[in-house]
A and B are shown apart, each in its own frame.
Chain A
Amino acid sequence: MTDRIAQIWGTRTPYAQGARWPARVDQALAEGVGEDDVDAWVQSACLLCSNGCACDIAVKDGAMVGIRGRADDTVNHGRLGPKGLFASWQGMSNKDRLTTPLIRENGVLVETSWDTAMGRIVERSRQLLEETGPLSHGFHTSGQLFLEEYYALGVIGKAGLGTPHMDGNTRLCTATAAAALKESFGSDGQPGTYEDIDDCDAMFLFGHNMAETQTVLWSRVLDRIEGPDRPLLVCVDPRETEVARHADVHLAIRPGTNLALMHGLVREVLEHGWIDDSFIAEHTIRLEDVRAAVEPWTPEAVAETCGVPAADVRRAAEIFGTADRVLSTVLQGFYQSWQATAASCAVNNLHLLRGLIGKPGCGVLQMNGQPTAQNTRECGADGDLPGFRNWENPEHIRQLAELWGVDELKIPHWAPPTHAMQVFRYAEQGSIRLLWVSGTNPAVSMPELPRIRKILADTFLVVQDLYLTETAALADVVLPAAGWGEKTGTFTNINRTVHLSRQAVEPPGQARSDLDIFLDYARRMDFRRNDGSPLLDWSGPEDAYAAWQECTRGRLCDYTGISWTKLEGNGVQWPCNDKAPEGTERLYTDAVFPTDLDRCETYGHDLLTGATVGPTPYKAMAPQGRAIFKTAPYSPPPEEPSEDFPLRFTTGRTAYHFHTRTKTGRSRPLNDAAPGAWVEVSPADARAHGISEGDLVDVTSARGRIQVPVRVSDIAEGTVFAPFHYGYWDQPDGAEPRAANELTLTEWDPVSKQPIYKNAAVRIGRVAASTGPSPAPTTTASRPARGTGAGIEPTTGGPAGQASETVLEPEES
């Protein structure tokens, strides 16, 4: 047994370049339950981050009692991280689950029947349609539902109601991944694959604290690092993360300056001629735009703006320019930051310059935050059209109209689907008067919370969720949802791997799957096709999946070859069709990109302003299967430190929690590992403010304030960090504010519309002396600063944090 709270990544199984990552089956069972006691193992995949580790759920007496990894699956080779091991099932079987629908009567939520609750929604919905039309309806969904559920929601919104106001909280976590892929390559779709970790010579992690966000993926990297021929590692992150500790070059840049650094790296690569001229000539366009944008960004200029040594910029560029095979990954440090799309496109540009794409070990992985964010994007439940279709392309709209049997004019396509921040703005202004939130908790996860809470309280709000979240508590109608292990469906992870997750147990009380809820709404609203038949005649997830397969036929995300039978067992990577019956490991092996006028998902944007390019200029550019170098000039972030707010504030994640802790906060070993909020301050800033470990401080921005204990950590001087997971559902009434988003500002990237969570200016002031160390874990980026850890208990899991690890011998080949 291993303490998987203390050892987040488990025991090392080192391997060499090009070898297969050894399989190791991780397993955790409830206390007192042995393997022999398990009645059934039911196939699924973990739903607590975008890695989507394949697993089997242990069932005993109709309850989930544990989990183990699936050894043969391409994603995790049997491994599971702490969240998968403990929270996946413990987070579901909890006494706090919602079991009956609730409606608001005289200001309080009271229990009611499904019929009454749905009746109230439908009554409101019909009344608004009559008064104002579909623009009165807004939807805010999740990155945690199943594919079939998003597609149902997408069809309801676009062909049933006809509203463009539908987005996911994926806007907050992953919109920039999609935007950067679309701008550079013409379509969403992950170019690389996890196998690229096995083959690469160098890895660049751009704003990606992989060690905490996708712990199992980081195990794979660690096993390469400990292998005989470790890849070089470059880390861009203002914090001293686990990734930074293993890096050959750690660029601890100032939050908000990503694009300046990227310009510097691109410039160095160009300057030294580390480029593939024939690849550029044959497979790309508009290199001249990039040359112009990077021109001023010498390593010295980068050093000045970003606060890192020029020599490190040179060395990082040299590694990128000279390693044979380079893999890059990108996440929130870029996505939730200033100039997000431009900085993320710059990563694509680096790969295009060297032609390092579509080959083993040479991938780009534009990561996702949430487990099923990929499906939100594919299925049209966020600001995209289903099947990566282009809202500006009339032929694509015609295809959807034909699939759904409705008039083309019914499908809103006069502008891009409304992004989440704008949906909330319309609600604030009173033009969206029904807001339906499914599987997410904007009352904690959105920026500038005081404003968001007021909007939620003032709008007719429907919330479907597992628990009475901070958001559900403000709703007019609350619908109890069945979750992971309580329903059957599919979802897709970050490297295009589709998994089937089967129902293992009955949902609690009257809870229903999100799909059932959406289908019930569609039936009650009597949405119909032009021929008079019901718009959604699906009886369950298998019908929904079949309809989705049709929707993807011929598109980049082609699911037509992935039957549920094929998904029995292990995951399959799309596209999978007649031409690629076993799925596709990597995209763009032929360096032909989906930028053709007829095929592309977007005609692109100006990355500085977000102005759309439009069909005519796009046609004139004639990309014709070539990738596009997209860029923008660097501009400083909208909020920089000032006299009143002298410190840079940034937010992020810890390995032990997911999102707003609705599941992880209910798992004992995880909650004990990171029980409360904290703020990280560098030793120098702590000294300057007379603050020491554990002191209670106020952190204040122009928008709000939090009061939390201090962890003195090795974060870059001048920057402070707070984890965004902590809200109020497990706090007493009247507790001091602690949610990081009390402080963040409302602004978003002009192209991806992803909010900027990572750059705000704050001041910090001591409120009370320490009564003990802060609750921050010692095993992660929040560990005490070097030489300051005395007296701080290391984070361990005790008996509840134990899991078994079984390393399987490689099969003879």
Chain B
Amino acid sequence: MKLPVYLALIERSEETLAASYRVVSEGHAAEPDVHFLLQTLASQCDKHRRILAPVLERHQLSDESDVPESLHHEGLSSTRSGPLGLLRDLQDLYLAASLVDITWTMLLQAGQGLADRDLIEAVQQCDGETSTQLGWLRTRMKQAAPQALIAAG
């Protein structure tokens, strides 16, 4: 059964995403909304990992090397500067969050296939927040794009 692989994947992806949110939050602290909101989103990711922990207990990964590197997102370790830099960083976050989002979808399917009520409930507690994260990133990028691409020096 490959479910543990995907559980390990989401666990890692949430961790990376939280770290990336925090990096961008600090790197763009001069954008107060970005700064404060990304802190909130990062703590949502932390919470997701806590919610998932009991499920992970039950479905332990036997071999770490089973997790395909190609599905892993590196995350952001530094930020770019200026209006365009902000846009690029938000776009990177968008990609990282998308990976988490689609992984939740697959886990939900697996949970249903297994009739694993705990897994289903865990996913349902988390995946809504992840898609709202994506929604916010989209909203913020839409707002920033024209100014960054047309008017900023």
Contacts and interface: CB of A to CB of B under 8 A. Distances in A.
B31 interface: yes
Nearest to A605: B139
A799 interface: no
A429 interface: yes
Given A416-B143, A747-B33, A748-B32, A606 B136 contact: yes
Contact of B151 (A133, A610, A614, A748): A133
Contacts of A638: 36, 39
Interface in A608-659: 608-614, 635, 638
Contacts of A606: 132, 135-136
A305 interface: no
A578 to B, nearest CB: 39
Contacts of B75: none
A135 interface: yes
Given A136-B151, A747-B36, A415 B143 contact: yes
B130 to A, nearest CB: 12
Contact of A133 (B35, B135, B150): B150
- Pick from A430, A431, A635 the residue with the most CB of B within 10 Å: A431
Interface string A573-617: 000000000000000000000000000000000101111111000
A488 interface: no
Interface in B73-127: 82-83
Interface string B124-148: 0000000011011011001100110
B153 interface: yes
A132 B153 CA distance: 10
Interface string A417-434: 010011001100111100
A503 interface: no
A232 B28 CA distance: 48
Nearest to A422: B143
Interface residues of B, number: 26
A136 B138 CA distance: 23
B56 interface: no
The DSSP consensus for interface residues of chain A is: loop
Contact of A748 (B30, B33, B150): B33
The DSSP consensus for interface residues of chain B is: helix
Contact of B133 (A133, A418, A431, A609): A609
B42 interface: no
A611 B138 contact: yes
Contacts of A414: 142, 146
B132 A609 contact: yes
A750 interface: yes
B135 A611 contact: yes
Contacts of B133: 609, 611
A135 B83 contact: no
Contact of A747 (B32, B83, B142, B150): B32
Nearest to A426: B147
Contacts of A613: 135
Contact of A612 (B41, B139, B147, B152): B139
A610 B40 CA distance: 12
B37 interface: yes
- 9 A-B pairs closest in CB distance: A611-B135, A611-B136, A135-B151, A609-B136, A431-B151, A431-B152, A747-B32, A415-B143, A746-B32
Given A608-B40, A611-B132, A638-B39, 9 more contacts: A135-B150, A416-B143, A426-B151, A429-B83, A606-B135, A609-B41, A610-B33, A610-B37, A611-B136
Interface of A: 132-133, 135-136, 164, 414-416, 418, 421-422, 425-426, 429-432, 606, 608-614, 635, 638, 745-748, 750
23 contacts: A135-B146, A136-B151, A415-B142, A421-B32, A422-B143, A425-B31, A426-B147, A426-B151, A430-B153, A609-B37, A609-B40, A609-B41, A610-B136, A611-B133, A611-B135, A611-B138, A611-B139, A612-B135, A638-B36, A638-B39, A747-B35, A747-B36, A750-B33
